[in-house]
Amino acid sequence: MELQLTPERDKDNEMLNVDQEQSRNMSTSQSHFWDGPLAIRVVEKVKKTGINPKTGQPIKPLTAFVTTERYEEFEEKMLNATIVGESQINGPACEWKKILLRWLNLKFKVIAWRVSVKKLVGLLKDSGITFNQSDESLISPIILQWLEIFKTEVESGLELEMNMLIRE
């Protein structure tokens, strides 16, 4: 077994060559991925669901899935939906419904997603909406009722499939 010493300069050049070769391999493997069948499936999934596969976050709001006219009709229905007990939320009903609709529009996912009624009640409070009842648990059924209408209207009115799981 013979030990060879190489000057420092050669080691640096050798490392540089290895780095360059790895870079070339990585760039060709990435371009191979973007041209391959896996990339096509990822792109199709993003188009269908509107979800970024890396982060799991929505890429497109609900408004991106339908025409402007259809969304305006949907919005009108949602803002004018009559909810039993909505008088327990102070102010015009369309105000709190607009806040919830805006939030749901931005968070919309076609695949399974969870919506917390408690979180939405907190969102309304943070937005300056007040309630006649001091107990938030009395407000939750109102929000829950409206969410059920939202879910039904998206599926039947906008003809979009979605899997929204509502939890209190």
The verdict on 102 and 30 lying in the same domain is no
Between CA 68 and CA 66 the distance in angstroms is: 7
Q: Please check the confidence at residue 46 and state whether its pLDDT lies above 90.
A: no
| C-alpha 144 chain-centroid distance | 20
In a domain, 19, yes or no: yes
Do residues 68 and 35 both lie within one domain? no
Per-residue model confidence (pLDDT) at position 138: 85
Same domain membership, residue 74 and residue 134:
yes
Ranked by mean pLDDT, the top range of 27-41, 51-65, 80-94 is: 80-94
* Domain annotation covers residue 78: yes
Helix axes 93-107, 117-126, angle to 10 degrees: 120
Q: Residue 138: inside a domain, yes or no?
A: yes
**Residue 117 resides in a domain:** yes
User: What pLDDT is recorded for position 18?
Assistant: 44
| 43 shares its domain with 119 | no
> How large is the C-alpha radius of gyration of the chain?
26
Into how many domains does the chain fold? Answer: 2
Q: Given a cut of 80, is residue 103 above it in pLDDT?
A: yes
Predicted local distance difference test score (pLDDT) of residue 54:
66
The set of residues, in sequence order, having a beta carbon less than 8 Å from that of 166 and lying 6+ positions away, is 114, 115, 117, 144, 147, 148, 151
Q: By residue range, what is the domain housing residue 22?
A: 8-49
Query: Is residue 143 one of the residues assigned to a domain?
Result: yes
pLDDT at 116 over 50: yes
Lowest mean pLDDT of 8-12, 53-57, 128-132, name the range: 8-12
Residue 151, CA distances (Å) to 28, 33, 49, 78, 84 in order = 45, 37, 16, 10, 17
Same domain membership, residue 39 and residue 112 = no
Tell whether 119 and 70 lie within a shared domain: yes
pTM of the model: 0.65
Instruction: Give yes or no: residues 163 and 90 share one domain.
Output: yes
Mean confidence (pLDDT) of the chain: 76
Two tokens at 80? 């004018």
Confidence of residue 29 (pLDDT cuts 50, 70, 90): very low
